[in-house]
Amino acid sequence: MKIKTYLLTLILLCSNSWAKRETIIAKNLDISSSKSGDKVTGEISANFLDVDYEEHNFKAYDDDMAMSGTFEIEKQNLKTKVSFIEFSTKLEEDNPLAQLDRLELVDTELKFNRESMLFNSPSLLLQSRGDSVTALNLRGECDPLGDSTTDVDIVCLKNGKLNSSDVHIQNPSINLRMKNLNTTITPSDISLKTNQAEFRSNGEVTIVKDFKLRCKNLIKRRFKEDEVVAGCLKSSNIDLDRFDERKVKSIEKGIVDLEDIRNLRIEIRDSSLVLKSKIKILFKISLRVYGKIHYIPEQKLIRLDITKARFAGIPAKKLTMMIMKLFIEEDSIRIDDDTIFIKV
């Protein structure tokens, strides 16, 4: 019975930012949930809990059997039940739990205190509002700066390091899989690096061996797509190199091998975009693209106005658009003269 009570304590601590815990440790934590209509229902279990709460310490463990409880989320209301104990609370509108479609965590360990947030999960699946993220061997270390909050997202989106051996991100616009991903987040920047990125678009796969991204961090509190995009349009660098061997058909130059594209770099400063690359045909030729890029939040569209694109002295706007389609689903791209619209 004690471990069930402490399991309920774990659920409450993870759902409330005001919980004044000093330390919470959980091992072999499993969470499984799904959504039907407007309601998310799920199960949670663990076989080790250690919680310091104000001046009290709770500890419970069972090496042989995990004790479990259930929960449901509907219209921002979280209800939990462990044995005969029930609890309900109202979630903030922007709390990620209130936006869940599906969550799967397996054999997860976590340790939160005022000095650090540490978590390690062999397998994670998260689905929310049309976006899907899966991660294997996910490891996180975030700095709460002395705060006792349990809001992992708020803390990690300001001071965090996240690593995973395999991450797969899917939405209607992009299908991206990354191997050995390293992510570092500071109050000023969000950066990621992977030694292999696979972009699936239009029925084909584009593999990039070196992929780096850095964006200015304008996230104020929790994750908001508009704030992430605003940061990237304010200041960002995207570097791609060592492409696979697939070919790109170009009206200007016949056929270009992807492996002949080198050092593709996109720089954005205050919505001004510059794309640079070297493309080898008989010899290396520079590609330069200049444009203005804007975000239309009410339509969830990125608008790119190409002002100039030159490839060996030849206008290369069509080649630029073909390269973009290597990374983004064709259904998410609309071309209107020299303007490209991208759904996000």
State the pLDDT at residue 248. Answer: 55
Q: Which residues lie below 8 Å from residue 327, measured CB to CB, with a gap of 6+?
A: 174, 199, 201, 206
Task: Please give the radius of gyration of the chain, using alpha carbons only, rounded to the nearest integer.
Answer: 23
Which residues are 113's β-sheet partners?
23
In 3D, which of 103, 86, 79 has the Cα closest to residue 153? 103
* Lowest mean pLDDT across 52-61, 173-182, 229-238, 330-339: 52-61
d(CA 77, CA 88): 7
Q: What is the structure's pLDDT at 314? A: 61
> What is the rounded average pLDDT of the residues 298-310?
89
Q: Which pLDDT belongs to residue 205?
A: 83
Residue 5 has pLDDT above 50, yes or no: no
Structure tokens of 298? 């009410």
Question: In the beta sheet, which residues pair with residue 193?
Answer: 182, 212
Q: Which of 11-15, 23-27, 111-115, 151-155 has the lowest mean pLDDT?
A: 11-15
Query: CA-CA distance, 119 to 153, in Å (whole number)?
Result: 12
For residue range 213-271, what is the model confidence (pLDDT) as tens digits? 999 999 998 888 899 999 999 999 999 887 775 655 554 455 555 556 778 899 999 99
- Residue 38, sorted as left (phi over 0), alpha (psi -120 to 50) or beta, turns out to be alpha
Residue 202 has pLDDT above 90, yes or no: no
Task: Tell me the average pLDDT of the chain.
Answer: 82
pTM of the entire structure? 0.82
Contacts for 313 with CB less than 8 Å, ≥ 6 apart: none
pLDDT digits 0-9 by tens, 23-46: 888 888 899 999 988 899 999 888
Highest-pLDDT range among 36-45, 133-142, 192-201, 262-271 = 133-142
Taken in order 144, 126, 122, 161, the sign of the CA dihedral is: negative
Q: How far apart are CA 113 and CA 133, in angstroms?
A: 26
Which of 306, 293, 300, 295 lies closest to 335 in space, CA to CA? 306
The pair of three-digit structure tokens given for residue 178, joined into one six-digit string: 């990354």
* pLDDT at site 3: 43
Whether the predicted pLDDT of 179 surpasses 90: yes
pLDDT at 19 over 50: no
Q: CB atoms < 10 A from the CB of 61, how many?
A: 15
Asked whether residue 2 carries a pLDDT value surpassing 50, the answer given is: no
- What whole-number distance in Å separates Cα of residue 237 and Cα of residue 214? 5
Q: Where are the domains of the chain?
A: 171-344
Pairwise CA distance, residues 272 & 342, whole Å: 16
